[in-house]
Each structure stands twice: as C-alpha cells, then as structure tokens.
Chains A and B, each alone.
Chain A
Amino acid sequence: MTDVLETRNVVVVGGGLSGLSAALEVRRVAAEKGLAVNVTVLERDERVGGKIGSVRKEGFLCETGPNGFLDNKPATMALVSRMGVEDKLLKSSDDARKRYVFSGGRLQQIPEDPISFLTSELMSIRGKIRLAAEMFLPQGDPAVDETVAQFVRRRLGQEALDKLIDPMAAGVYAGDPGMMSLQSCFPKVAMIEQQFGGLLRGMLAMQKMAKARGQQGPQSAGPTGVLWSFGAGTVELPELIAAQLGDGAVRTSTSAVALERDGTGWSVKTDTGDTLAADAVVLAAPAYDAAVLVRPHLEEGAKMLSNIPYVPTAIVCVGYERDDVPLPLDGFGFLIPTKEGRRILGSLWSSSIFVKRAPDGKVLLTLIVGGARNPELVGLSDEELEKVCRAELELTMGIKAAPIFSFASKWARAIPQYMVGHAARVANLEEEVAALGGLYLGGNSFYGIGINDCTARAEVLGPMVVDGL
C-alpha cells in the first residue's frame, strides 16, 4: 500500500549524466503517478557531469569526454525534448559523416556504401572477398560470449578486424577487441547475427523494412545517425538536467562514504557529515566507487564491481592556425588500427564537426591517447604528452607546425571495459542487488558506455525505482 501523502526519499550517488538523468526520470515518473518524491543527487566533484566536461579556453572549446550523442538511438533526444531544451542543441556538420582510417601509412576514407566499399583501396581484394563471403557463413553459437576479435575474424575476416573493427573498438571503448565481449560491447551486432543469420543479410533485411516504413538511407551495423551536442559543449546536457532538478536536489562537492541499512530503507552517509535517509538508492558512481558502498552488504557483488576494469585515457585538445594544417579536415576525424603501431588511437576534427569550437581561422583537433593499447602514455607529463601528440600528428596528418593551443585531460580510470562474461556477471549482480531491496545500479559500467546508453538506463531505472517505493 502506497501512502500518497508521505514523501519518499531517493538518493542518487553520482552526478554524472547517468545519475542526473536517472534522478530526473524518477521525479518525472513519480509525478505521473502522483507520488511525492524527494530526489537528492550526491556528486563528489564541485561540478556535475562526471566524465563529460567542456572547457572553454582561449576561444577553443575542449571536450574532456564524449563529444556528443548520435540520434540513431532515441533516449537522449527524448530526454532533451521532455526538458524542452531542443533550442540548445547543436547539430554536427554534414561533413562529420565522413570518417577516416589511418591505414597503410595514410588517411583513407571509410566507405559509406557498398559501391564505394568496392572501389575503396582501404581493403585488399582478398579482404573484400572474405568480407563478402559473410553472406554465406553459418550462424554462430548464441550461448558463447565471443570476444569482438573472435566474432569479427569468424564472420568478416582478419583484414576487416585489423582495418575496420579494431580502430572502431579503440574509438569507442579505447579497448582491445581480443578481450571485449561482443554481446556487451556491440549488442546490436550480436543481435543482427542471431536474428538474421548474418550481418550482410541483416543489413539487407533491415534496409527492406526501413523502405517499407518509408525511410531512406542505408542501414548498417556500424555507427549511423547524426551527431548532436550543445552550443556550450556536451556538458550542457548534465548542467541542464541539474538545473531542472534544482539547487537543493543536486549536492556537489559531496560524496557518499557509507551506505547503511535502515529498516527497509537505507541511510547514506556523506563526507560532509550528513546522513540522508533513503527509501531507495541509485548507485550511479563508477563501479570501483560503488563497490566500496556495496561491500558491507554484498561481498561477492562488491568484488564483481571492483573487478570491472577501466582503461586509462588521455584526451588531448590541440589548436592550430588553419593554414598550418595541410588537410581539408572534411570529416569526423580518423582512427588508427593497432597494426599501424602509432601512439595515438585517433583524432577527432572537432572544429569541423561542430561550429564555434575554435576561433576564426583556427582549428581544434582532439586526440585520444592511451586506452588498452598504450596505457603508459597516460602517465606522461603534459609536456611529454604534447610531444608525443605533435610527433603523431606530423606522421598521420603531416602537420609540421607547433600547436598554438593545447589542453590535456587525463583519466586514470576512464572507460569501463566489458570483458567476455560481462553480461552474465551483471545479471548475477542485479539479482543480488535486487534481493537487498531499494538499491539500484546505474552508471555506465553495465549496459553501455555512451550518452545514449546512460539516458536509456535512466528510462529503465525511473519506473523501476518508483515502483519499488
């Protein structure tokens, strides 16, 4: 029996996008059901956003984390329109659809359609034939959680792994395809094989369905859709949510230090000396921090949480005079296959993707460094890191000039890695957590690392938390 008059308390640990959007969803769903719910978000840092951060410096806008979100999944767009802040959105330029790979010592465009794939020099003829043979290969065993490398070599061949998928895995997860779980990292790809028997067959079938619905454009298993951000950078999204939640609801510079049982509910102790009573707690902190809070209640579960590995990553933003860059910069940027032996994972051409990311006559490039491939580089000093980046930019893009601007953000634990067996471990953990009651898992350590994954998880958590109150 729910007492409509009594106010329920929900505490969200972690004021990154996951926590904030979950808090907003809880409040929205509760309001729809006529429940009085008091939501509090605790954020350790003095600002909200977590890994998402946008820093304006010397006229450049540097992203410390993700650069935006794609509209091929609905959750974030839906959130933005519910908040009524569509006017703040910033659409990427059409050029940003063009993506490059640094392969064979030069930048090559990733073909966007089958025709340009056939004429592209990116893959050898043998590699193309092998890839096309995917059409006729038998379906894999759905019970086996394959690594990305196992799956891609089985279906598409070695060359597609080396030149297409390995750089993509680096670009999205900064991860090693030989360790990542396909099912958890690229669930759509795994689903297409199981549903249609193969990726090419799946794409054709999906194209047909899309046509039947009157949609245009090719369907693909890879990233599609248009990239969106905000005028003041991606950080506007968590900031807008925090503003809607209101000052009292979001406590920055406050971290949860202990989680204690309190009757059927919980009490959350903060490092500011407060104890918050909560009917429900959403853990939207990184897995290793959540582990500390959970440990007294779930030893195994805490172990699982702290076992989720994070790769270190450095994001280095460098500004140049436009004339110093000998390339048209007509695209999203490029990624680099491991086999090329380079020391950066890739570079986004930020000022080409979004307007006003650099002052007039100047350009901004964002370099991804480290990851599973070169974690040691994240331990370098800013000067050493800039040196590495300059050398790599000269090799990959032919930029000889010195940058006029440079800003590095280093994350010792940047991106959670979904290793093989991840989905099964998460399912176990969910069961254990559910048995406790009133405790919920958020954050990007479980069901996807992207902005859309965080907001989609919030859509799941909202009703789940409210129903449990």
Chain B
Amino acid sequence: MSDFDAIVVGAGPAGVSAAITMVNGGLSVALLERGPYPGAKNLMGGVLYTDILETILPDFRGLGAPLERHVAEKRWSILSPDTSTTVGFRSAKWDEVPNNHSYTVLRARFDKWYAAQAEKLGVELICGVVVDELLADDMGRVIGVRTRVAEGEDPTQGELHAPVVVLSEGANALLAEKEGLRTPLETRDMALSVKEVIKFDEEKILDRFGLEGDQGVAWEFLGDATKGLPGAGFIYTNRDTLSVGVVAYLDELDEAGLSPVELLNRFKDHPAVRPLLRGGELVEYGAHMIPETGFDRKPQVMKDGLLVVGDAAGLVSTSPKHEGSNFAMASGVMAGETVLEARAKGDYTTIGLSGYSRRLGESFVHAKMEQFRDWPKFLRDNPHMLASWPSALAAAGEAMLKVDNGIGGADGIGGAKAPDLESQLLDIFNRKIGLLPFAMTAIQLRGALRAFGWGKTDKVVEYIARNW
C-alpha cells in the first residue's frame, strides 16, 4: 500500500518545484525536509533567476516571494593585491518588472516561502525528518523511504511508501551515493562557497552602492579575490544585508595551504573590498559545497522508481552566470512532468520514467552544461589567467594613470622624460605574462569562449567577408 503517490526528499528549489508540478497534476505528494524548516540547511545567498519560477508560480511576486532586491547593476572587478579594475553595467530597463528575471535572495527565506506555496497547493510538507535509506523491493525498485525523526530523545523510525521517489537531497547526495547513482566526489570536483551575511542600515547600502528603492548590485571579484585560484569573490546586496563570500575548489585550497575561512577573510580585507563592508554586523556564516562533476562525468539520474534532481543529479552551473537554482527548478519540473506521465502509463520503471532523461537532454540545462563544460578546466589549466593577468592589468593601470611628470628628478622640470607608455605596457606584458603563455592561453581561451558563442571564428570570418 502506498501512503502517497510520490515522495520528494529535500525541500530545496528542485524538490519544491517537483512537488508543485506533481500536486498540480492531481497527485498526493509528501515533501520531506530534514531541517526544522525548508532553507534551514541552506545558507546560500545570491542571485535567483526567476524565469523558470515564473512558469511554476506565475504570480510569485504577488504571492510575496521574499526577493531582496532586483539586480539593477552587475559589476566585475579584477583584483591584484593592491589594485582593483572594475567594469559595471546598469540598465534602467532592469528596474521594470520582470527586472531581467534576476533578484538577490537569501535562500533560507526563499526556500521557506517556496515550500509554503507548495503546502498551500496541497503538498504534505513534513519537516525535521531524515531519510536514512530508500526502500526497495526484491527487484531493486524503489518503493519508498525509511524515515527518522531526530527530534526528542529517542529518534522514531518509520516507513513511507510511494511508487516513485524524487530525490532532491542537494550536493551531499548521500542517498544517491548509497543507491550507486554517484561515486563520492573527488576534492577537485568540489567547489566550496563560504559566505557571510553582514547587516547594515538599508540607507547605508543604498548610498554605498549607489542604489535607490529596490535596486541591487551583483558584484563579482576575480584574481586576488581568491589569491589567484580558480574561483571568485562576490558581494550581493540584500534588503538590509550584504552576502559576501568566496568560491574556490577544495583541492586548490589544499594545495595553496589556505582554509576557506582564511580565503574569505583575505578577500574581506582587500583594500578595495574593506571599505564596502565597514561598520557592518555579522549575522550569519555558512559554507556550501557545489558538486562540479561537469557534463563529462554525469551521475545517473534515474533508477526504477527513482528520479534525482538538482545538485544531487550533478545539475550544476559552471557558467559565470551561476544558474544552479534555475537548473534545479527546471529539473524539478521535468521530474514532476515525468512522474505524471509515468502514472498515466502505470509504469515507474526506468522505461516509464525515461521521459526525464529525454527532457533533460533536450532542455537548456544540459545545453548550458555542455556549452560551459570546459570553463572550470580552462581556469585550472591557465592559473596565470587569474594570477599574472590581474597583476599585469594592475601594472598597466598604474603606468597609464600615474601622475609623474619627472618633477623632483635630478634634472628638475623639463628633465628626463619617463619612457613612453607603449614601451612601458610592452615591458609589463613581457614581464608579467610573456608571449608564449599568452598565445597558449589565447588558443585555449578561444575554445573556452566558444561557450559564450564568441569562439566561432568561421562565422566571424564569414560575416566580415560578407559585409566588407
């Protein structure tokens, strides 16, 4: 006997999306969350893209989604130890709904709200429940979950049965590993994000970042932000807090002998970052693992009676756009649709559930993962990109902007001139980067940039030939 038509393990964006899709299709759905409330285990904050959310809950704004600020401006800075070079882009169009579908959020709040919407639609949300194991029949088909309620002095165990389980347990994916769907991650496949939420007066945030009303900034820092390791630092403006953090790979951190906390403190203490954080009060600290196994090392996403979604399915964005939660929601919807289809056919085997892998394969999720599959590898193979290039940029900036007309030199005013800028820049290029490493990187960059649609030289040549 089944207790529910479907069980969803984990109330993150992927799981809630799956639950809503299934409950809208008329199924009875249990949504299990191990935290005391959804989002309790999630300390991530960042940009949430809402284009997928809008297909699930078209009126998410009216339903009071806890969006902190819309992203009115994006900034990128390249840091060297004592300099920063920044570009930014801002559009007044982004101030109008749908706000370019980009909002800063605090996931602890967002997840709680999102799960509450599922509950309103009829999903049975059960918090504080740990799933230790999936139940399987003799044929190895998943038929439910073994639960444990950890509250109180002695944990109570129970079983919940359903013909299909959607696994959205997130990055650690212990159940998926137990089911042999994924091998334990190697440190090189683990990116770690450490983050602090720092509280300010709302006015202070507006003034400091040049904002008004609901405007917000998503700001990323490369180069010395991670001590030149592949990764990035970030500052996102929330309503009255800042999310400040760094992302780096575990093996690289190990090799550099840096702890994640040290890396974050280093970033916060950078001369270009420190003034932005001055006077704030730390309210939350957390770390989150991102399983970047990539497109060429996909975990299995299904089994008889089981679908895996979100981070647990390795659906992680390696693009500079960080669309992981978008991938998660989309995969949840695709899993939900597949379950409805399987129910209509009465077939929950991998054949009946195979619509999920087909949907994933045809979706933007796989397309983008494929497109950006080489981006992390490129950054790893070209460590100087984030180390020597920023310092060359810094030296070039200093050379160009230096206020020095030879006054005070031995010859006084009108004395020896500094070498001309061009030869200074060439000298910097030669010293800091070098022609051969530059050429090698340029060749690889072409390949990596193909991800952005910039690498199609054949098309560029064709275009020039046609238009000249």
Contacts and interface: CB of A to CB of B under 8 A. Distances in A.
Given A292-B138, A374-B358, A179 B351 contact: no
Contact of B140 (A176, A288, A378): A288
Contact of A375 (B139, B140, B295, B350): B350
B214 interface: no
Nearest to B298: A178
B297 interface: yes
A419 B314 CA distance: 15
Contacts of A297: none
A244 to B, nearest CB: 33
A303 interface: yes
Interface stretch (B178-186, B219-227, B279-287): B178-186
Contacts of A292: 138
A144 B180 contact: no
Nearest to A312: B351
Given A147-B297, A178-B298, A312-B351, A306 B186 contact: no
Nearest to A310: B350
Contacts of A146: 297
A291 interface: yes
Contacts of B179: 307
A420 B296 contact: no
B347 interface: yes
A98 interface: no
B35 interface: no
Contact of A150 (B178, B180, B296, B349): B296
B351 A379 contact: yes
B351 A306 contact: no
A245 to B, nearest CB: 29
Given A288-B140, A291-B140, A378 B297 contact: no
Given A144-B186, A308-B180, A312-B351, A376 B358 contact: yes
A376 B296 contact: no
B298 A179 contact: yes
Interface string A367-378: 000001011101
A291 B303 CA distance: 16
Q: Which of the listed residues B140, B345, B355, B357 has the most CB atoms from chain A within 10 Å of its own CB?
A: B140
B136 A419 contact: no
A303 B296 contact: no
B354 interface: yes
B352 A379 contact: yes
Contact of B355 (A291, A306, A376): A376
Given A375-B354, A375-B357, A179 B140 contact: no
B297 A375 contact: no
B83 interface: no
A303 B133 CA distance: 12
B99 interface: no
Given A375-B357, A379-B347, A178 B186 contact: no
A421 interface: yes
A309 interface: yes
Given A306-B140, A312-B350, A375-B354, A419 B180 contact: yes
A288 B139 contact: yes
B352 A421 contact: no
B300 A179 contact: yes
B63 to A, nearest CB: 35
B363 to A, nearest CB: 14
A153 interface: yes
Nearest to B357: A375
B138 A309 contact: no
A368 to B, nearest CB: 16
Interface in B290-321: 295-300, 303
B295 A178 contact: yes
Nearest to A379: B351
A227 interface: no
Contacts of A419: 180, 183, 300
Contacts of B303: 309
Interface string A425-439: 100000000000000
A192 interface: no
Interface in B409-446: none
A376 B302 CA distance: 13
Contacts of B183: 145, 419-421
A412 interface: yes
A179 B313 CA distance: 12
A224 B35 CA distance: 56
A372 B350 CA distance: 10
A178 B139 contact: no
B335 to A, nearest CB: 15
A421 B295 CA distance: 17
A177 to B, nearest CB: 8
A145 to B, nearest CB: 8
Given A291-B140, A306-B136, A378 B351 contact: yes
Interface in A144-195: 144-147, 149-150, 153, 176, 178-179
Given A419-B180, A421-B183, A309 B300 contact: yes
A304 interface: yes
Nearest to A378: B351
B178 A303 contact: yes
B298 A176 contact: yes
Interface in B166-199: 178-181, 183, 186
Contacts of A309: 180, 300, 303, 350
A16 to B, nearest CB: 18
Interface in A412-427: 412, 419-421, 425
A379 B140 CA distance: 19
Nearest to A145: B183
Contacts of A375: 350-351, 354, 357
Contacts of A149: 296-297
A412 B352 CA distance: 11
A162 B180 CA distance: 27
A176 B298 CA distance: 9
A374 B350 CA distance: 11
Nearest to B180: A307
Contacts of A378: 351
Most chain A Cβ neighbours within 10 Å, of B138, B180, B347, B358: B180
Contacts of B355: 376
A150 B297 contact: yes
A34 B240 CA distance: 86
B138 to A, nearest CB: 5
Contact of A304 (B180, B350, B358): B180
A258 to B, nearest CB: 12
Interface in A363-393: 372, 374-376, 378-379
B357 A420 contact: no
Interface in A126-149: 144-147, 149
A312 B347 CA distance: 14
Nearest to A419: B300
A376 B296 CA distance: 23
A25 to B, nearest CB: 29
Interface in A254-307: 288, 291-292, 303-304, 306-307
Interface of B: 136, 138-140, 178-181, 183, 186, 295-300, 303, 345, 347, 349-352, 354-355, 357-358
In the complex, the 3 A-B pairs of residues with the closest C-beta atoms, listed nearest first: A307-B180, A306-B140, A375-B354
30 contacts: A144-B186, A145-B183, A146-B297, A149-B296, A149-B297, A150-B296, A153-B296, A178-B295, A179-B298, A288-B140, A291-B140, A292-B138, A303-B178, A304-B180, A306-B136, A306-B140, A307-B180, A309-B180, A309-B300, A309-B303, A312-B350, A374-B354, A376-B354, A379-B345, A379-B354, A412-B349, A419-B180, A419-B300, A420-B183, A421-B183
Given A147-B297, A307-B179, 19 more contacts: A144-B186, A145-B183, A146-B297, A147-B296, A147-B298, A178-B297, A179-B297, A179-B300, A288-B140, A292-B138, A303-B178, A303-B180, A306-B140, A307-B180, A309-B303, A309-B350, A374-B354, A376-B354, A425-B180
